[in-house]
Structure formats: C-alpha cells, structure tokens
Structure 1
Amino acid sequence: MTASPSFLGLPDRLSDGLPRVVIFGAGHGSTYPGKDSSAHALAADVIRAASQDDAGLFEHWDFDLDGPLFEGKQVCCIDAGDIPTTRHDNAGNRARIEAKTREVLALPAVPIMLGGDDSVPIPFIAGFADHGPVWVLQIDAHIDWREEVDGERYGYSNPMRRVSEMAHVAGMVQVGMRGVGSARVTEIEAARHYGSRIVTAREVHTQGVEAALGHIPEGARVVVTLDCDGLDPSIMPGVMARSPGGLTYTQVIDLIAGVGKRARIAGFDLVELYAPADIDGLSALTAARLLVNAIGTIVRQV
C-alpha cells in the first residue's frame, strides 16, 4: 500500500532541532452505539492530499499571512502521521489521543490534530492537563453540550460538556452557533451556567470577529477546536449537518490570527470533515488552507 503524502509535503522529523508544531491525525474517537465513523476517519488523508498543490511553496508570498509560511526561516513543522485508532474502541482511542497530545506538548511543541468526528477534541484537550490553565475557542455550528447520547458521554455531541468539567480549562468561547442542532433548553442553560461565552454566527456577521475575541483574556493560552460545520456550507459542503448562515473563510482565519495576536495558540484541532459529502474537493481545500493559517499564526507567536 502506498503511503499517504504528508501535509504540505512536510517531513516526519527534523534533521536539526525540535519542531515547534507537530501535526497528527486521529481517525476515530468515541463512536456512538450503532454509528459508523469510518467516513470521518478519511478526513486527515483527504486534507493532506488537498494540500499537495502548495507543497514546496513555503517561500512564496501568502496573502493570508502577509509573508511566506515560515517567514523565510527553516521549516519547523512536522507531520507525524496518524495515531492508531479503531472504530468503537472508544476508551482505547481516547487514551491514545491523550497520550499523543501529551507527548507533543512535552517536546515542547504545539499539537495540531486532524480528526475524525467531533468526539476527538475531548481527549485532545484532556492532554493539556499538565499545561494549564487553557482557554478553549470552539468554532462550530452547535454547542455540543449533551450529557450523554445512547449511554455514551464522550461522543460528538458531548465535547464541550466534557471539556467544561476539566479543571485545567479556565474558560470557553463558542462561536458560529446557528440553526437547530442537538441542544435542548437544558443544554443552553448548562452552558450559560458554566460561564461559556456563546457568540452566534449572526453576531460575528454584524459585529465582526471581535464579538468572540473580546472574551479571550489577553495573554491566555488557547486551544482552538474547529468543527468544519462552523463554516458556511457554500465553502464547506463536506459536513454531516449543513446549516446555512455559517462563518466565512475570512472570518475564520481572522479568528485564528486574532487569537495569535491577542493571546497564544497552544493547540489546534480540525474535525468533522465528511469527505463523502464534499463537492469537487472544496471542503478539503478550505480545510487545508485553514491549517496553513493555523501553522503560520503559531510560527509568528513570540
């Protein structure tokens, strides 16, 4: 079997020094009983494939970043490939994702995880337990605050509820919410009682990204978790739950850049790309560009 290309053709290790950024994939997290997460597990390699047209262009000017990806300096990001995950091995998958996150943080480096459905951010953020406090910026169409679904408490409707229970998480900003999802009145009340700052997509459209960034304390260490359905389906059709009125590409990269300027990105994950629903590779291309922006922003952090 031919090995999948790495993201942007990045190496899997550096010949000189330690990386500042480590990318890894996590195909499966905690799958609900009777559900199949196999299509979500395709996401990391689909995104890697979409990045290949830009592989080797590190010295070219990037107008999102106002300069080359690595600012003309040595490449400092690696793609470590995928960690082994198995559908329905929920506890095992969580343990492996958390362990890999801790491993990257110990280098020290900034981990970037490619999911996978929206259950994988739970162990990813759990991996920061010894590196807190952290704030969490969730970009998503849904607040994901269910207590449990079919007896499973760590699935794709539960991540922000579980994250709110982590002692090292100091606060949370949830941005991009719109339409109807899994949230009931009780989930909204629970999120607000916790102190989550919920910023709807409409608020971002009318007030700009500062409607969300203003809630993040200056200098905070922030883990960004980006669910692809947070973006509008006109540019991100490859998701399970399309919802009109989502964030634009520019709004999302402005959120990423804004965190890097106001605070510090300590970790980043991108999840919920559903390749079977993509149109002409548009979602994979958009996701790849979002990751380029995340890498470029992290590299520019002091």
Structure 2
Amino acid sequence: MTTAPRFLGLPDRLADHRTPRAVIFGAGHGSTYPGQDSGGYALAANAIRVASQDDAALVEHWDFDLGGPLFDGGPVSCIDDGDLPTAPHDGAGNRARIAARTREILALPAVPILLGGDDSVPIPFLAGFADHGPVWVLQIDAHVDWRDEVAGERHGYSSAMRRASEMAHVAGIVQVGMRGVGSAGVAEIAAMRRYGSRVVTACELHAEGVEAALRHVPEGARVVVSLDCDGLDPGVMPGVAARTPGGLTYLQTIQLIAGLGRRADIAGFALVELYPPADIDGLSALTAARLLVNAIGTIVRQGWNSVSQTCSEALANELA
C-alpha cells in the first residue's frame, strides 16, 4: 500500500500467520475545509517512518523509556500496513476508508494505530469502534475541537471531539493540554461542559503531574488516544501549524501514555497534526516516532499482561 520505508523496519505481516498485537496504518487526508490544502499533513506518516529508520536495527536493544526492549523480550508483534489511498477534498470517501480499515484491524483482533493526517482523521477512526464499545477518548491537544461546523463542514479538524461526543459507543472524553486561544468560543465551551468532558489544561498538568489527567480515566476502561502534535510544546514539536507555548514535554507525554497503559486498556491510538513543512531539522518527526514507539511498547506490555492474567485465571479455575 506504500513504497515508503515501514516504521522501524517492521514487517507488513507476521510469520506463521500470527495475529499482530497492533497494526499501524496511515491516512494522509481526512475531511478538509473549503480552500484548505491538506497536502502538508499528508507528508506526516512518511516523515515519521523515515525518522524511525535510525533505530530500525535497535529494536531488540534496551529502551530506557520502556524499561526493556520494545517487544519486552517477545517476538515482533506489530506490523506496518502502509497508507490508505485517501485524497484531498474527498471527505466522505476518506472517512469511509478510515472507518473500514479500523474495523478490519479490530476484527483480527488487534489494536489500530493511525498516523495522520490532520485532526479530522480521528473522527472516522473513532467511528470504527462502534461495535467495540464502550470506549473512552483521551485527547492530547492544545485545542478542545468542539466546533459544530466550519464553513459548512462538520467533520473537519476543529470538530473531532464534538463528533466523538455524539457517538453512542463513546462513554466519556478526557482532554489534556489545552492552553492559549484556539477556535473555541463561549458556545463551544458550554457544549463541552454540558456533555461532561473532563478538561485538564496544560497549566494543571504542569502543576500536578500526569495524575491530574489519569484520575479521570476509569480503571480498566478501554481507551482510544487521540494525540494532536500541537499538544506538545513547540520546543520539542515545532512541526505543527499552530504553535502554542506551554505544552506538554516529551517526558510528560510518555509518562501519560505509560500511566494510561497501567490504569486502563489502550484500544486504539491516533497521532495527528504533524506538519512537516514547519518542522526544524526533523525534530518533530523524530519526537513523533519516539511517541509511537512508547505507544507500541505500552500496548505490547498490556497485551502480555492480559495474556498472562487470562492464563493464570484459567489455571486457577482448573485447580479449584
């Protein structure tokens, strides 16, 4: 599906017909606004894959973010399935393709990992979980994304959480990293509060640590993460279209991902809004690649833990 290098040199399928624990796929275009050029965002998945290549030979090495090798001493259990054939200004078609691919991955079963694309692609990604709910959404973003429509488009990048709130299978939303001035007006904040979204501003997270966000996620919940790159501080993630000072650090972000993996079950992960034309020396792509490594490592570990727990419970029942 793509001629680009695969993330970390991962295969596009596993040997012996094994089912992967996680499947990466890219979607360069979502639902663009009239007159908007989404071509810069469409470069993101390839930029992240290229940035990961220096570590492709080091997959079995010790990763100090994860406290061990990426796959925790087990076999490779993640594949890169390449990019979907999305197109500019084909919102309905792009949404259908993204939702369908998400459903296919969940049916394996595996955890879908989406590389965007702008912040409109999480809408169909989340829609793909309709038969796999209930799920919570953890959004990391500088903006709340609660606009109902912009120029007549209801599925654009300013509406991701508004559309998520309307999905019956979404049980709740936790929004982290908000700061500065974005597209939200008084009406959008009122709608967000009526819904009951839990908002943890960047100031609150800096003051209280990642627990300020994690405490809002029910223990054992299935959670889909939507990580907008502008949720991070532009000092480590300059390659975004809307730089806003005061965002999450790299360490805070990986602590949040790891903490979520211990508290809940990461059922899906979308990384969006990387804008390579604004990047500086490839720093943003490198940071995004490392965030993806941490997400995969966390998903793998909760997978092994789940298998281990299931086997232990089966043994206990057998001995009872």
**Smaller-chain TM-score range?**
over 0.9
The alpha-carbon deviation at position 100 of structure 1 amounts to 0.2
User: How far apart are residue 78 of structure 1 and its match?
Assistant: 0.2
1:115-154 Cα distance to aligned partner (Å, 9 max, x none) = 0000000000000000000000000000000000000000
Say whether 1:68 aligns with 2:58.
no
In structure 2, the partner of 1:14 is 14
Q: What's the TM-score, normalizing by structure 2?
A: 0.93
Partner SS, residue 55 of structure 1: helix
Partner of 2:3: 3
CA deviation profile, 1:209-240 (whole Å, cap 9, x unmatched): 01000000000000000000000000000000
Work out the CA distance in 2 between the residues paired with 1:187 and 1:255.
Answer: 26
Superposed CA deviations along residues 154-195 of structure 1, whole A, max 9, x for unmatched, are 000000000000000000000000000000011011101100
- Structure 1 residue 73: deviation in Å? 1.0
RMSD of equivalent CA atoms: 0.7
In 2, the alpha carbon distance for the partners of 1:294 and 1:283 equals: 16
Cα separation, 2, equivalents of 1:220 and 1:4: 35
> Residue 162 of structure 2 corresponds to which residue in structure 1?
161
Please give the TM-score of this superposition, normalised by the length of structure 1.
Answer: 0.99
Matches within 5 A, 1:31-180: 31-180=32-181
User: Does 2:197 match 1:196?
Assistant: yes
Gaps of at least 5 residues in structure 2 are 307-320
Residue matched to 2:311 = none
Q: Which runs of 5+ in 1 are unaligned?
A: none
SS at 2:58 equivalent: coil
> What amino acid maps onto 2:137 in structure 1?
V
Three-state SS of the structure 2 residue aligned to 1:51 is helix
| Residue type of the alignment partner of 2:9 | G
CA distance in 1, matches of 2:60, 2:119: 34
Identity %, equivalent residues: 78
3-state SS of the aligned residue for 1:104? helix
In structure 1, distance between residues paired with 2:73 and 2:197: 39
- For residues 178 and 212 of structure 1, what CA distance do their matches in structure 2 show? 15
Q: Which amino acid aligns with 2:152?
A: G
Large movers: runs of 4+ above 3 Å: none
Q: Is residue 36 of structure 2 the alignment partner of residue 25 of structure 1?
A: no
Distance in 2 between the 1:167 and 1:73 partners? Answer: 37
Aligned residue identity for 2:11:
P
- Matched pairs, number: 301
SS for the counterpart of 2:23 is strand
What is the deviation of 1:56? 2.1
